[in-house]
Every structure is written in C-alpha cells, then in structure tokens.
Amino acid sequence: MHMADALISPAVGGTMWVATAGLIGYCSKKIKEEMDDRKIPLMGVLGAFIFAAQMINFTIPATGSSGHLGGGMILAILLGPHAAFLTMASVLTVQALFFADGGLLALGCNIFNLGFFPCFIAYPLIYKFIVKDRLTSKTLTFGAIISAIVGLQMGAFFVVLETVFSGISELPFATFVMLIQPIHLAIGLVEGMATAAVILFVWKSRPEILQSSIASQTGSEKSIRNVLVGFVVATVVVGGALSWFASAHPDGLEWAMFKTAGVEELEAPEKGVHTSLAALQEKTAFLPDYGFKKTGIHDSKEFGESWPAVDPGTSVSGLVGGILTLCLAIFIGFIMKKWKSAHV
C-alpha cells in the first residue's frame, strides 16, 4: 500500500508531511519520557524484520491481486505505539530513499497510513479492548487479527481520501473505495494471522515484553537475546531467500487502480515538485525496485521470468535494507536515550 507521488498533489503531500512530522515529534517526546533501554535493540531488529517481510507479496486467491505484511500491529504490540511509529517511519524512509518503494512526496502519506492507524487507533481501541490484561493465546490471536484488519482498512480508506483531495480524476471516490476496501479486507485477514503468529512466538519466548508494552511500563531485566536472535535469523531468511517467492500479481492498491482506471500506475506531472523529487529519488535509490541498478543483472532474462524469481539483486536488497533499517532505528533509539539523559 505504498503510494507513488503520481497519486497525490503537492498540497496533500505537504500537508501529510507536516502531520507526520508532528507525530514523529510527539512520539519522540513520549519515548524520551518512558524509554526502556531494552527497546533500542528491539526497535532495530523488528524494523529490519518488517522491512524484509514487506518484500514478500502473497497472492489473494481468485482475485489476481496480492498483498504484503504492513507490520504496524506487530511493532505496536511489541514496542508500544510511540516506538512503533518511529520504527515504521524508519522502515518506510529507507524503502523510499534507497529502494524507490513509494514516492518521496508521498512519504508522509505512507508513514501516516501504515503507521498512525495501527499504532494509535487499532492498537488502543481494538487490541487493548479485546486483550486488556487477559494475555492468553486465544485473546492474543483474536486481538491481533481484528486489529490488523481495522488498521489496514483505515489506512486503505485514507489512500482513497488522499487521492480524492489531490484531484486525481482517474480514481473517482465511489468506484475506487468499493474496490480498495474489500481487497484490503482479504489482505488484512492474512496479515492478522501473520501478526498473531509473530506475537505468539514472542509471547512464548518472553511474555514480559508484551506485558510491559501493554501496561506502558519498562520491561523486566530478563534477557531478550533469544527473541532478538530469532528475529535476526528470520530477517536474513526472509529478506535473503524467501523474497524470491513473492507473488508476481499487483498489490491491492495497484489492483484497485487497474480496476478503476485501467492502469496500475499513473503518470506524474512532467514539471514541478513531482519531477524534482523523482530526480532526487533516482540519485539516492541505489537498489531501485529491490534489484541491482542498471548493471544488466537485474534485467537479465536469467532472473525474474520464472517463479520463484531467484535474483541476487533481491537478496542483496533484503539484507542491505534490513541492515540500514536496523541502524536507523537503533540510531533513533540512542538519540532518544541521550536526549533523556541530558534532561534528567
């Protein structure tokens, strides 16, 4: 559900950038007040895992569409909403800058759509309402599925609103919303089950991580090494190899666009902000579309024509992207820690 710049106007893109920047500032302040040092490595490792997981599109049967894990609920449940939002912002920033996944003008929209609704709407209103202090496998599974669906539905609806307010006439509200919501309902169901599986893994390994997150308290002093190692291994496997098995079908947003406008991508204006930001992204994205940049390898007939698409460029992208996200998320955590120490 990564929006391209062609889907929004500079006014909408700028407005969402301001809204997202405000949320980042708010989350930074809250983390400074309640920072748990153990969250710093967890933010980095989970960010890397979500980056890798988002590379895998899964087919939605009988639709010709696909979806991928958003990861907002995983982050919110394990980190709490404030650290989760900053981690999601790290993931999407790395994707946009270095892999050209989502536009730079649309980056504020993408962070808001994929981060705000899971972290600040679905998490407190749905997940906590269902689970509360009754941490069991049943409540965790049900809460994870419902909250993931709700968060994704709201994010998809905001994609429609952002295109409408941008004056994208090719995507009329009624038709677009009637297509994008049902397909993201199916995607949300799969994401919910994946979220539940990840949460149950952590619950069985280190239940105090969930307990401290839900209660907005610092965690115990027990080591979370096994959890960190588990996510590191999963990141390497998913980003380095399982990414070859990503579905070739268009994702839910592209599918809804095609059914509405007859194309999976719209053309951006040839002049102005769109062009300037596209030129900047072309310079920063050294692995565009998660493959080697104009080396002949990524475009070779040897790769990408069969399934699984065994492409070394994809593997390198998964590993490099995971490392970059890990570093950025940990850097943010350390900045918050230093900021807190300086004001104590």
In this predicted structure, the answer to whether residue 150 has a pLDDT above a threshold of 50 is yes
Q: How far is CA 281 from CA 93, 269, 299, in A?
A: 11, 16, 20
- Tell me the Ramachandran region of residue 80: left when phi exceeds 0, alpha when psi lies from -120 to 50, beta otherwise: left
CATH of span 5-24+35-277+284-293+308-342: 1.10.1760.20
pLDDT of residue 296: 43
Instruction: Fill in the amino acid letter for 299.
Output: D
d(CA 324, CA 93): 10
The pTM of the full predicted model, rounded to 2 decimals, is 0.92
What are 190-200's pLDDT values in tens digits? 999 999 999 99
Q: Of 12 and 214, which is predicted with more confidence?
A: 12
65, β-bridge pairs: 60
251, β-bridge pairs: 66
State whether the Cα torsion 123-79-325-197 is positive or negative.
negative
d(CA 169, CA 147): 32
Tokens found for residue 82: 């404030």
State whether the Cα torsion 139-234-209-147 is positive or negative.
negative
Looking at 9-13, 39-43, 74-78, which range is the least confident one? 39-43
Tokens found for residue 117: 């609704």
Query: Nearest to residue 61, comparing CAs of 254, 249, 253?
Result: 249
pLDDT of residue 343: 59
pLDDT of residue 215: 54
In this predicted structure, the answer to whether residue 4 has a pLDDT above a threshold of 90 is yes
* pLDDT confidence bin for 188, thresholds 50/70/90: very high
In this predicted structure, the answer to whether residue 219 has a pLDDT above a threshold of 70 is no
pLDDT of residue 205: 83
What are 86-140's pLDDT values in tens digits? 999 999 999 999 999 999 999 999 999 999 999 999 998 777 788 777 778 898 8
pLDDT of residue 311: 85
* pLDDT confidence bin for 223, thresholds 50/70/90: low
Question: Tokens 């997981």 identify what position?
Answer: 53
Question: Tokens 């992208």 identify what position?
Answer: 317
d(CA 15, CA 93): 17
In this predicted structure, the answer to whether residue 304 has a pLDDT above a threshold of 60 is no
Residue 133, SS3 per DSSP: coil
Q: Map out the domains of the chain as residue ranges.
A: 5-24+35-277+284-293+308-342
* pLDDT confidence bin for 298, thresholds 50/70/90: very low
Average pLDDT for residues 253-258, to the nearest whole number?
96
What are 29-72's pLDDT values in tens digits? 888 877 677 788 889 999 999 999 999 999 999 999 999 999 99
Pick from 193-207, 274-288, 323-337 the range whose average pLDDT is largest: 274-288
Average pLDDT of the chain is 88
